[in-house]
Amino acid sequence: MKGKDLENRMRSLEWFHSLAVLPGAWTIIRVDGRSFSRFTESHFDKPFDARFSAFMIETARALLIEFGGRYAYTESDEISVLLDPSFDLFDREVEKLVSISASVATAAFTHAVGEPVHFDSRVWMGAAVQDVVDYFSWRQTDAARCALNGWCYWTLRHEGRSRREATRMLKDSDVAGKNELLFARGVNFNEVPAWQRRGVGLWWETFERPGHDPVRGVDVTATRRRVHVEKDLPMKDDYRTLVQRLIACSIPR
């Protein structure tokens, strides 16, 4: 077989290479830590550790910058990054978006923590702004659920319960029962830091920096942009309003 024919046949078997995000669709890249339950249990305090959250925030910042995203949200060991319908990175190829986002997250977190870790990645698409608002509302609801479960589970574990015992005690318990379990042990879940219950949001903001123009000999003010980190996100309808506002506003350049 001639070299060109062989090349064409081999390339034709790259079936997924042609997959691309639909034109005009809102796109969200979500990365998740691989086997992070075991990793965090051996390296960080439970149920939550501010150091781990800081590493996730830095990883989210790296993704937001690398992909020029509009908004990033992180809770537990996952990060979601929103891309505009007009984005055209890597010709919108799904293979590229998934592989590069996972590698950026892996590199950023590994550099921050000083130990090798792995992330996987997936792509979500939405046709309308409402779809995007629903997505982030869903992820924040998941953050609250996981936070309550984590607080209950690790409170029982710190009391000396085994994994099996703690899991069994929580199996049929509803939200009210879990809140009562914590309250009986001196923990008011509503007073747990917001970043644990609601996750952390990151978005671009502009700011003015004073300077001096040596050529004209005058003081000037330059407009710059930076990533804002919000650890006290609103919840429910107020959070949905925030996400909608961030989608509607233009990204500072």
- According to the model, what pLDDT value does residue 5 have? 83
- According to the model, what pLDDT value does residue 248 have? 86
Q: What's the pLDDT tens digit per position in 221-250?
A: 677 889 999 999 999 999 999 999 999 876
**Pair 151, 189: CB distance under 8 Å:** yes
Question: 32 burial class (0-12, 13-18, 19+ CB within 10 angstroms)?
Answer: middle
- According to the model, what pLDDT value does residue 11 have? 80
Q: What is the mean pLDDT of the chain?
A: 92
Residue 253 or residue 115, greater confidence: 115
- Segment 181-210 shows an average pLDDT of 93
Name the residue among 243, 246, 27 with its Cα closest to residue 122.
Answer: 27
| Structure-token pair, residue 57 | 């925030």
- According to the model, what pLDDT value does residue 224 have? 81
In whole angstroms, give the CA distance from residue 164 to residue 175.
20
20-140+193-198 to CATH, choices 3.30.70.3000, 3.50.50.60, 3.40.1450.10, 3.40.1210.10: 3.30.70.3000
Angle at 39 between CA 36 and CA 41, to 5 degrees: 105
Boundaries of every domain in the chain: 20-140+193-198
pLDDT at 252 over 60: no
| Structure-token pair, residue 104 | 């950026």
Show the beta-strand stretches assigned E in 76-183. 78-83, 119-126
In whole angstroms, give the CA distance from residue 24 to residue 208.
33
pLDDT at 44 over 90: yes
- According to the model, what pLDDT value does residue 253 have? 56
Residue 52: phi, psi to the nearest 5?
-65, -45
In whole angstroms, give the CA distance from residue 138 to residue 201.
14
**Pair 106, 117: CB distance under 8 Å:** yes
- Segment 54-70 shows an average pLDDT of 97
- According to the model, what pLDDT value does residue 68 have? 95
Would you place residue 56 in the very low, low, confident or very high pLDDT band (cuts 50, 70, 90)?
very high
**Pair 209, 222: CB distance under 8 Å:** yes
pLDDT at 97 over 60: yes
Q: What DSSP state is assigned to residue 186?
A: T
In whole angstroms, give the CA distance from residue 122 to residue 142.
17
